[in-house]
Each structure stands twice: as C-alpha cells, then as structure tokens.
Amino acid sequence: MSDKAPAATRKPIRVGLFATCLVDLIRPRIGFASAKLLEDAGCAVEVPLQTCCGQPAFNSGDRKTARELAAQAIEAFEQYDYTVLPSGSCAGQVIVHYPELFEGNAAWEPRAKALAAKTFELTVFLNDVLKVTPSARFDGAVTYHDSCSGLRELGIKAQPRKLLANVEGLNLVEMKDPDVCCGFGGTFCVKYPDVSNKIVEKKTANIAASGAGTLLAGDLGCLMNMAGKLSREGKEIRVRHIAEVLAGMTGEPAIGEPER
C-alpha cells in the first residue's frame, strides 16, 4: 500500500510571501500578481506581518540593524514550507547574507540557515521548484533586464526567460548587455547620482535599441530607476515587473504611469 496520500487529500504547500518594502509601499499589485501565480500553482499563500529584509542597513555597514531586521524576518517566516520574494536582491539578502549575519551564533545561525534553505526568488520558485507553465497572454515585444543581485548572487537568468517563453503572444527580444547594471544599486544611486545616471543612460539606450515596447525585470528598484530615466528621455516604453505579465495582470498603468 502506498504511503503517498491521494492528490485530492494532500495538504497544499504553505508559502510565506515576503512582499518587500518597495512592492508594499510603491507597487502592491506586484505582490498581488505574485500571490496569484503561487495560488494558481496550488500553493496556500500567506503574508505574515513583516518589515524590511535589512538589505539597506547591511549594504551601508549597519550590521546591528541588519541583524535585528533579519531576526524579525526569521521569526515571521520560519513557520512556512517556503518563503518566496518577488525580488532577487531581497531574496539574496535572506539566502546569502542572513547566515553570514549570524555566523557563530549558536541560537540564530541554524535558524538563519534553515530559512535560507527554503527561500526562493519568485521566478526560481515557479520554474525550478514548482515547474509550472504560466497561463497568460501578452501581445507585443518585451526585453528583459537581469538585475545584479539576482544574477550574481543567485544565478537567476534562465528561469524568467523560460517562464516568458510560455506566455502566448509575447516576443522576447534581448537587448544588448542585458546583464549589465542599470545604475540603481540601492543606496548607490543616492550616494553617487552622477555615476548612476551615466550607467542608466547606457541601459536605456540599449533598451530603446531593442525595439521592444515593454521592459521587464524582477526587481522593482531597478524597474523604477529605468522607468524614471526612460520617462525623462521621452521614450515611450512601458515598464513592468515580470510577475505582472506572467499573472496576466497588465490591465493597469505601467510603472511610472499615472493611475487612472
């Protein structure tokens, strides 16, 4: 007799959605799109009380604050089967840097490592763990920007492209140097605005040269940076988070566009 429960009686995977600060405060519909994708894949999605992952403090050298925020996140999310974030940079903070923050701490290091082991960026979770095929349609050409943290800390590159390949009507056109920084870099763009602006100028030139009418990426910070520059340059290219397209939630204004 099989010890596997029939599919109808199996408990759904419990996923804690770590929405991230920018999504929560600037563009909540990315969070709703992420939840829809996970629920459509059969997951039970919950959004526990949460705050910042601690990345800005960590990158600024404030390890004390970063540890305090990390501890809050660990306590909030360790109850779930998986933690999923619609952001490569915030996912990288949890997966790569939480264990580092608590290295040598007998009470917290095991908890940090346990959470890191079951934490995933959204497209990685959908493609590599759940192995889902999105059921969505998007008519038009898009180009994709590989955000630095997701690419270099977590190796996220093939997953978003594999998911987009299943969207009906979508034509992915690769820009030149999709894996080169957009100039955002979190606090980098605040500390070094002139350098940041030079970097994003090159990025928006490549985006426009692709001929795509829509720019996609997996990190809202990068998207806001590129959308702002495209707007200031008068380029009519719409900017969206990949979750919005995969979930079929593109009926609302794009990033930077006025709300109706």
Q: For position 103, which CATH number holds?
A: 3.40.50
* Predicted confidence (pLDDT) per residue in 29-60, tens digit: 999 999 999 999 999 999 999 999 999 999 99
Same domain, 220 and 154: yes
Within a domain: 181:
yes
Domain encompassing residue 224: 135-246
Report the pLDDT averaged over residues 217-230: 96
What 3-state DSSP class applies to 53? coil
What 3-state DSSP class applies to 249? coil
Same domain, 28 and 66: yes
Same domain, 188 and 149: yes
pLDDT, residue 2, reads 39
Q: End-to-end alpha-carbon separation of the chain, Å?
A: 58
* Predicted confidence (pLDDT) per residue in 105-156, tens digit: 999 999 999 999 999 999 999 999 999 998 999 999 999 999 999 999 999 9
pLDDT, residue 9, reads 60
Whether residue 111 contacts residue 208, with contact meaning beta carbons closer than 8 Å, is answered with: no
Same domain, 140 and 77: no
Same domain, 150 and 56: no
Whether residue 22 contacts residue 241, with contact meaning beta carbons closer than 8 Å, is answered with: no
Task: Kindly state the helix (H) or strand (E) to which residue 14 belongs, with its residue range.
Answer: strand 14-17
* The pLDDT of residue 7 is above 80: no
Give the mean pLDDT of the chain.
Answer: 94
Domain at 143, CATH number:
3.40.50.11810
Which of 104, 127, 150 lies at the terminal end of a domain, its last residue?
A: 127
